[in-house]
Amino acid sequence: MGALVAGQNVEWGSRSVEFRAPAGVDGVAALAVNEQGRADAPERLIVTGRPIGGGIALRDNVIHVDLDVVDDAVQRVLCIAYTGGPRPGAFDCAIGDVTFAVSDPFPATVCFEVYRRGPTWKLRAVGQGYAGGLPELLAAHGLTGSAIPTAAAPPAVEPDQPPQPSPGPTVEPLQRIWMIYEDAARISAAFLSAREYATSRLDDELSAAIADPATRNTPAATAASNSAHQRHDELIARARADYDRDSTYLVNELREVDDTLPPSMASWKSPAWRRRPEAGDAVRIGSLSNAELGPLSIPFCVPAPLRRPMWIETVESSAAVPVLTALVLRLLAASPHPAPTLDVIDLAGGLHALSHPLAHRMVRPVVSDSADIAPRLKELVDAADLAEMRLGVDGQRSPASVVVFADFGFGLPPEALGDVIALAAKSGLGSSLLIVGENNWDGTDSRMRELSEYSQHIVITDGVMLDPWTRNPWTFVPDTAPEPGRTVSDLLAGMSALQPFE
């Protein structure tokens, strides 16, 4: 079937899959996930130490998948290459006669995914990497690091002691943020569980106190009821005190971490925006909190450059400007190259408030005429091809670029859609594709739906996100442009690595 690029898919007619370990990695694994991309049990991970389950087997460092045996609840099987140490070099991987070159691997990389499409199966090249290795990959799909059979259990924490600080300089910023997020998820779940137990026990004890009609209105029943309420209140108070102690610790740790994060991950108030520029391997896209529990707010970050397109869902592109401005600014700041570029396709002019202050980052004018879309996309794809070639030949990265496509679908020539898909497939080589618009492609070109499924999505209104460890809900608030008084231009002016073009 030939070579694929990231995001490209092919029909898979065979009823079996064999994924061999690429050269240069320590091992391979498979993860079976549902339609929401979640694994519902540790047994969904097939890895050394758990080599068989649900129609998937690991033998001699080869993943074997029997598609006729895979559970109906499984919608995708992720084929993973991983290392136990630092990031590996670029490698080639294959399933059958389908090959895929992973040019920018991480300690854990999803190389391929086999997924259902109606009664048939398809194979897609993915190439999404995780700096935190298998634990971070599992967390992104609903499991914890304890799902890895060979992983040692973490040391127990004394009940009346806060968790010990995460190691600082030895942990990559993105990994440390995820460690704090996991701590926050667990202390929140512990409090909610204690509260639920206290309420359940109170109901049981009150029911027992009035169960006998003969003693229902006696002093003894009243005393039993009062004691039950007291025990309930004491349990809630202890649980609340434990949560407040641990959350205060995490709030302080986040404040300390914020001072050391690169700008792309730091808050807008961080000194990172005023000191010597520092590239980042991730960007903050929002924050997670639970107003019911308290002020603890966790930065939510994803790897940069974006491994997949980021789709900002909105009816009017102008409504997305605050979220989009923050994301663009952070992607520019994350670049290790001193001259990252910005391209904007905006036929309706809804993104003028973004493109105007960032005009000095644009080597080409905003595309405002549908006739100019195809030539611009062709130019961007050619540049991405050249960047891929340069990376493969001498390991040199081209200047990073951010491409913003507003009101996606509107005015897009049908013949240009292929170039959008090609550009999306090359995400991670240094370019990041941001798509702004509605996400409703029923009855239209199936390639639109495939592109949407391949993309990461942000809704500009606050939403709910379940954490991957305890499955408890958190309120997700998208990151927005800097507060009044600190404009985009002011922030960029303080970063010498982002000099205007001559």
Asked if 79 contacts 30 with a C-beta cutoff of 8 angstroms, the reply is yes
Domain of 416, CATH number, reads 3.40.50.300
Last residue of a domain, one of 210, 232, 260: 260
Q: Are residues 386 and 318 in the same domain?
A: yes
The order of strands in the sheet holding 463-466 is 297-303, 282-289, 473-478, 463-466
Amino acid 345: pLDDT? 95
- Measured distance CA(185)–CA(471) in Å, rounded: 9
Domain for residue 289, yes or no? no
Domain for residue 471, yes or no? yes
Q: Are residues 218 and 313 in the same domain?
A: no
pLDDT tens-digit readout, 1-24: 688 888 788 889 898 999 998 888
Q: Are residues 91 and 204 in the same domain?
A: no
Domain for residue 199, yes or no? yes
pLDDT tens-digit readout, 413-424: 988 999 999 888
Q: Are residues 129 and 218 in the same domain?
A: no
Asked if 403 contacts 433 with a C-beta cutoff of 8 angstroms, the reply is yes
Q: Are residues 16 and 96 in the same domain?
A: yes
Q: Are residues 325 and 444 in the same domain?
A: yes
Q: Are residues 114 and 234 in the same domain?
A: no
Domain for residue 107, yes or no? yes
Domain for residue 355, yes or no? yes
Q: Are residues 201 and 313 in the same domain?
A: no
Within 8 A by CB and 6+ apart from 2, the residues are 97, 98, 99
Asked if 404 contacts 358 with a C-beta cutoff of 8 angstroms, the reply is no
User: Which residues face 477 on adjacent strands?
Assistant: 287
SS3 59: strand
Amino acid 297: pLDDT? 95
Asked if 5 contacts 125 with a C-beta cutoff of 8 angstroms, the reply is yes
Look at the chain and count its residues.
Answer: 502
Q: Are residues 205 and 109 in the same domain?
A: no
Amino acid 397: pLDDT? 67
Q: Are residues 104 and 139 in the same domain?
A: yes
Domain for residue 244, yes or no? yes
Amino acid 63: pLDDT? 94
Amino acid 444: pLDDT? 67
Domain of 93, CATH number, reads 2.60.60.30
Amino acid 489: pLDDT? 56
Domain for residue 370, yes or no? yes
Structure token digits, residue 481 = 């442009």
- Measured distance CA(257)–CA(259) in Å, rounded: 5
Q: Are residues 253 and 332 in the same domain?
A: no
Domain for residue 155, yes or no? no
- DSSP one-letter code for 31: E
Residue 33 is part of which domain span? Answer: 2-147
Per 3-state DSSP, the chain is made up of helix, strand and coil in percentages (nearest 5) of 35, 25, 40
Last residue of a domain, one of 200, 234, 260: 260
| Residue stretches of the chain with pLDDT short of 50 | 151-170, 485, 495-502
CA-based nearest residue to 199, from 191, 209, 211, 187:
191
Q: Are residues 367 and 241 in the same domain?
A: no
Q: β-pairing, 341-345 with 282-289?
A: unpaired
Number of domains observed in the structure of the chain: 3
